[in-house]
Amino acid sequence: MRLGIIGLGTVGEGVLEILSTEENNFKNKGIDLEVLYACDINLDRGFSFEFDKSILTKDFNDILNDEKVDTVVELIGGETIAKHIIVEAIKKGKNVITANKALLAKHAKEIFSLAKEKQVNIFYEASVGGGIPIISPLQESLIANNILGIRGIINGTANYILSEMKEKNLDFDTVLKDAMKKGYAEADPTYDIEGIDTAHKICVLASLAFNSYIDFDKVIISGISKIDSIDIQIAEKLGYNIKLIASAKYLGEKLAVEVAPTLLSNKELLANVDNVFNAIEVESDYAGTSLFYGRGAGKDATASAVVADIVKASKESPFRERYYFNLEDEADLINENQLIGTYYLRIETSDFKEEIRDLSFKVFEEDKYTILITNKIKRADLMAYLENKNYTLLNVN
Amino acid sequence: MRLGIIGLGTVGEGVLEILSTEENNFKNKGIDLEVLYACDINLDRGFSFEFDKSILTKDFNDILNDEKVDTVVELIGGETIAKHIIVEAIKKGKNVITANKALLAKHAKEIFSLAKEKQVNIFYEASVGGGIPIISPLQESLIANNILGIRGIINGTANYILSEMKEKNLDFDTVLKDAMKKGYAEADPTYDIEGIDTAHKICVLASLAFNSYIDFDKVIISGISKIDSIDIQIAEKLGYNIKLIASAKYLGEKLAVEVAPTLLSNKELLANVDNVFNAIEVESDYAGTSLFYGRGAGKDATASAVVADIVKASKESPFRERYYFNLEDEADLINENQLIGTYYLRIETSDFKEEIRDLSFKVFEEDKYTILITNKIKRADLMAYLENKNYTLLNVN
């Protein structure tokens, strides 16, 4: 197997480091691979590990055009150049390994159709949950099962912020600034805090779990930026932790795919997944409840997942369509107005309407706010009272 | 792929049920397999699902002698007939799928050497952790990593007993009797409560994690039968839960493979794995901490893992030695006298010797007992004071 790695950012450098440092280890395990190219636009820098510098190139076309390269590892991210590279690699009959959840969530049709036509493999274990094996369990270990539901904490930045807000009793903005300083949040943190990255990832997981095409535009998304430390304290008093939960489950005939900050009973394992850690819980008909926990991001953990895919690709030369998303059967997704659930609502007491009380089993005042935990209701019935009001609405699981 | 299933006990029947019920599902997923035989000595009974009864046989030789059978699923358990069947299947060039941890722990050399000679595959995902994918993550998903340590709750019966003792404040014997009545413990529960089954399983996990041969006879084993409800209460007061923990980790140059009831901080996820659930935590150099949680036993969950192996075998017809244990490099295992750790000791106050106080950072009296939490010490140094005494000694993690 002859590789070209494109993108030497955090993860790409991690992959090159593992492949260089563990070369003998891999040979002993009977794994035969060679990195022919490592490509990045920024090569004027040092590397903290030893490798043959002659593999470095600034031009990804060196990799795409070299017939000796049979597998392209795309670690640039984003939907522009990364997409071009993946599409061209597939056209040239090269297998693709990627961590690019945005691309998989939004351009699955184009990529997998082309891959099928060209009979190449696409591997993407690193796209969700960093170092946590979750793609391969869904594709293989749980194959006997019909998946009933999936819930996860799959964005390390959001989970770090919520954990710090609780642990240190700080407000959202303070923690976000601190997270940016520490490198746990990006300069533009929108994707992480507004649930977009989480939505990309649940789209990948739900596609596999429910073996159907999930239209990313129909995923229901809300982020954590409206959560105040008062919400976290109230939740704690009631025996809950607040987590940004991605979920996919059937509500009647339709599938609900949703990202929402959620109150989880602190007795649940998932509620106790803190800081940058991720966890994904899968409910299936034979295996029952399974949970996969680990480092959801970071150089080494994500690189570990990419390398697992590289090894898999090296062993699995035959074309395996079973690793694709199913594009033929589109899932019938619920929209926001059809959602049914239990909700936590915080609203200024001056804005509170008595009618909402009838929808709730717990209503109390705290400071200038009225807080409600609703019965199981249609979300739309609640929203009817909230038009033009200032409120914070969270799921309760 | 043409299968013969041998042993229609709980798990075997579950496998046959999944393969029969989900036949169309599997065909849609491109999985092509046929059950040619299902064998059990007891066939005078009903089955709760539909299947072609002509596959039933009482004679496993029908399966071994039929050249059309390429894969034998051994689900009898034990080390006598099961071993004979596996050895004969391998000799005839058939792949083997098994959940038999005792056999893997104690007869790995014979089985894997023969399998290598005959170039057949052995799959055993169901041998540890029931429905939890753990063998395949160790063999594949974490392949980039050097494993630093592994800890797990891998016996559902023992975990159920400890959970019930805590939850309902009952003593060991009462809960054990109740567990037997409910079918959570076998008529002879020795293997489960004395840690033998757990030892078989950690032997399998450690063989893979540390890529070396583990001599089962050197695994250090203690069970849960000496734990009193007073221990559970004291542990709780100190912020710990008691769990039967299987572990394998380096202590200096040597590997410590141990099964012991252990006090775990109740802030740890592992400490909150209750009832019949299992969990395995893996510490590795790149992926960091990973944890795999789920149903560790039971018909459907274990059958789910067996079926995953069946599907894997059907896709992986080429010979894959990488699924074997490494028999060449024997791990240098620590013995009991070399163990270093932190311990919980409960001893009758009349038997307590002042010298032990110097080894401990916490000493207090409760009822007629003296309880100590030691510093990190050589276990042998503590044992020197305990000769001929009546005591309960647990690990502290």
Query: B135-294 sits in which CATH class?
Result: alpha beta
Amino acid A96: pLDDT: 97
Judge whether residue A239 has pLDDT over 80: yes
pLDDT tier, B317 (very low <50, low <70, confident <90, very high otherwise): low
pLDDT tier, B319 (very low <50, low <70, confident <90, very high otherwise): confident
Amino acid B30: pLDDT: 83
Q: Which of A133, A288, A295 is the closest to B131 by Cβ? A: A288
The closest alpha carbon to B3, from B381, B353, B307, belongs to B307
Interface subset of A 302-331, CB within 8 angstroms of B: 303-305, 307-308, 311-312, 315, 320-322
Mean pLDDT of B98-124: 97
**What tens digit of pLDDT does each residue of B175-213 get?**
999 999 988 888 899 999 999 999 999 999 999 999 999
Cα angle B8, B12, B17; round to 5: 105
Average pLDDT, chain A: 95
Amino acid B161: pLDDT: 97
**HEC readout, chain A:** CEEEEECCCHHHHHHHHHHHHCHHHHHHCCCCCEEEEEECCCCCCCCCCCCCHHHEECCCHHHHCCCCCCEEEECCCCCCHHHHHHHHHHHCCCEEEECCHHHHHHHHHHHHHHHHHHCCCEECHHHCCCCCCCHHHHHHHCCCCCEEEEEEECCHHHHHHHHHHHHHCCCHHHHHHHHHHHCCCCCCCHHHHCCHHHHHHHHHHHHHHCCCECCHHHCEECCCCCCCHHHHHHHHHCCEEEEEEEEEEEECCEEEEEEEEEEEECCCCHHHCCCCEEEEEEEECCCEEEEEEEECCCHHHHHHHHHHHHHHHHHCCCCCHHHCCCCCCECCECCHHHCEEEEEEEEEHHHCCHHHHCCEEEEEEECCEEEEEECCEEHHHHHCCCCCCCEEEEEEC
List chain A residues with CB under 8 Å of B304: 142, 144-145, 284, 286-287
Amino acid A31: pLDDT: 87
pLDDT tier, B73 (very low <50, low <70, confident <90, very high otherwise): very high
Pair of tokens at residue A5: 């790695």
pLDDT tier, B229 (very low <50, low <70, confident <90, very high otherwise): very high
Give the right CATH number for A2-133+300-323 from 3.40.50.720, 3.10.20.30, 1.10.3720.10, 3.40.50.300. Answer: 3.40.50.720
**What tens digit of pLDDT does each residue of A2-58 get?**
999 999 999 999 999 999 999 998 998 888 899 999 999 999 999 999 999 999 999
A299 assigned to active site: no
Amino acid A317: pLDDT: 66
The closest alpha carbon to B210, from B255, B244, B178, belongs to B255
Mean pLDDT of B45-49: 93
The closest alpha carbon to B296, from B318, B326, B274, B311, belongs to B274
- Would you say B185 and B157 are in contact if contact means Cβ atoms under 8 Å apart? yes
**What tens digit of pLDDT does each residue of A292-349 get?**
999 998 899 999 999 999 999 988 667 778 889 999 999 999 999 999 999 999 999 9
Interface subset of A 245-284, CB within 8 angstroms of B: 267, 269, 272-273, 277, 279, 284
- Would you say B128 and B134 are in contact if contact means Cβ atoms under 8 Å apart? yes
Judge whether residue B261 has pLDDT over 80: yes
CATH 3.30.70 matches B336-396: yes
Query: The pTM is what?
Result: 0.96
Query: A142-294 sits in which CATH class?
Result: alpha beta
Mean pLDDT of B352-372: 93
For residues B232 and A279, what is the distance between their CA atoms, to the nearest angstrom?
29
Q: Which of B30, B144, B322 is the closest to A18 by Cβ? A: B144
**What tens digit of pLDDT does each residue of B271-280 get?**
999 999 999 9
For residues B233 and A146, what is the distance between their CA atoms, to the nearest angstrom?
41
Provide the terminal-to-terminal Cα distance of chain B, rounded to the nearest Å. Answer: 46
List chain B residues with CB under 8 Å of A321: 30
Q: Which of B277, B311, B322 is the closest to A30 by Cβ? A: B322
The closest alpha carbon to B205, from B249, B244, B156, belongs to B249
For residues A134 and A279, what is the distance between their CA atoms, to the nearest angstrom?
9
User: A323: how many CB neighbours lie within 10 A of its CB?
Assistant: 21
**What tens digit of pLDDT does each residue of B78-96 get?**
999 999 999 999 999 999 9
B133 lies within 8 A of chain A by CB: yes
For residues B302 and B203, what is the distance between their CA atoms, to the nearest angstrom?
19
Domains A2-133+300-323 and A142-294 share a fold: no
Q: Where are the domains of chain A?
A: 2-133+300-323, 142-294, 336-396
The closest alpha carbon to B395, from B219, B241, B270, belongs to B241
List chain B residues with CB under 8 Å of A277: 289
B137 lies within 8 A of chain A by CB: yes
CA distance B391 to chain A (A): 33
Judge whether residue B28 has pLDDT over 90: no
Q: A143, A166, A280: best mutation site toward chain B, by most B Cβ within 10 Å?
A: A143
Judge whether residue A216 has pLDDT over 90: yes
The closest alpha carbon to A134, from A271, A303, A272, A291, belongs to A291
Average pLDDT, chain B: 95
Phi and psi of B318, rounded to 5°?
Answer: -65, 155
**What tens digit of pLDDT does each residue of A180-200 get?**
998 888 889 999 999 999 999
Amino acid A5: pLDDT: 98
